[in-house]
Amino acid sequence: MMKKLWKMVLSILCVSLIWFSGGNKILHADTLPNDLGKAVTEIENLDEMRSHLASFLESTPDKPTPDTFKQVCKPVGMKMKQLGEENGWQTKQIAKKYRNPNHAPQNLQEVMALAKFEQDENLKGFWQPEIVDGVKGTKYYRRINVESSCLACHGLKNERPSFVQQKYPQDLAYNFHVGDLRGMYSVFIPEDAIEALKDN
């Protein structure tokens, strides 16, 4: 079912190639609506934090352990949750090749967003109006690329740490190479949260 959905999405993207390849391939904070600049800045800081924490994996010869996960991966998820709670946003990480089933795309918009990043490796992020659970707002998507430090847990399938294989028997997040699309951050900002940003 998912394969059919991806084929349909890619067909739509091919038809819309001109639109997707327009002048907004890489959207920086200054090209977003002014009120959304904070969300872009926070996600950039979050990705820098992720990259910094993961870099510690390159400095140790030891294989990652559950404690490594707590020190490297868990803080990123906790920070995303904190950003959502403090600002009234809905935040999450999404991936086609996911490890945590909660990170699988949940709707057509998320599937198309991932496909859009797959089509254009230079696209860093983009925003679009969306309705989530009946609430109008704006959603910001930002790509996550695989770095060399990620390969300790996301490299060859048979070389994944044993705790990963045991904890995630349905794991799909392996066989990546440096520069591959790992997934994306998603931030949904309801209209009332946008109004709150205007007031600050």
Which strand (E) or helix (H) includes residue 138? strand 135-145
Q: Provide the domain count of the chain.
A: 1
pTM (2 d.p.)? 0.80
> Is the model's pLDDT at 70 over the cut of 90?
no
The chain-wide mean pLDDT, for the chain, equals: 83
3-state helix/strand/coil string of 92-133: EEECCCCCCHHHCCCCHHHHHHHHHHHHCCCCCEEEEEEEEC
Residue 28 confidence class, pLDDT cut points 50, 70, 90: very low
Q: Taking residues 139-157, what's their average pLDDT? A: 94
Taking Cα atoms as reference points, which of 141, 62, 48, 64 lies closest to residue 99?
Answer: 64
Domain membership flag for residue 61? yes
State the virtual CA torsion across 37, 43, 136, 116 in degrees, nearest 10: 110
In a 3-state reduction of DSSP, which class is residue 178? coil
Domain membership flag for residue 24? no
Q: Taking residues 130-156, what's their average pLDDT? A: 93
Domain membership flag for residue 65? yes
Report CA-CA distances (Å) from 69 to 2, 53, 87.
Answer: 29, 10, 26
Q: Taking residues 124-128, what's their average pLDDT? A: 94
Q: Taking residues 73-80, what's their average pLDDT? A: 92
Domain membership flag for residue 30? no
Domain membership flag for residue 184? yes
The pLDDT of residue 7 is 45
Taking Cα atoms as reference points, which of 126, 141, 151 lies closest to residue 183?
Answer: 141
Its domain, for residue 99, covers: 2-13+40-199
**Single-letter residue type at 89:** W
> Is the model's pLDDT at 191 over the cut of 70?
yes
Residue 83 CB-half CA count within 13 A: 25
Q: Are 49 and 76 in contact (CB under 8 A)?
A: yes
Domain membership flag for residue 92? yes
Percent of the chain predicted with pLDDT > 70: 80
Residue 54 confidence class, pLDDT cut points 50, 70, 90: confident
Sequence-distant (6+) residues with CB within 8 A of 150 are 54, 176, 182
Domain membership flag for residue 152? yes
Q: Taking residues 20-29, what's their average pLDDT? A: 43
Residue 35 confidence class, pLDDT cut points 50, 70, 90: low
In a 3-state reduction of DSSP, which class is residue 7? helix
Domain membership flag for residue 176? yes
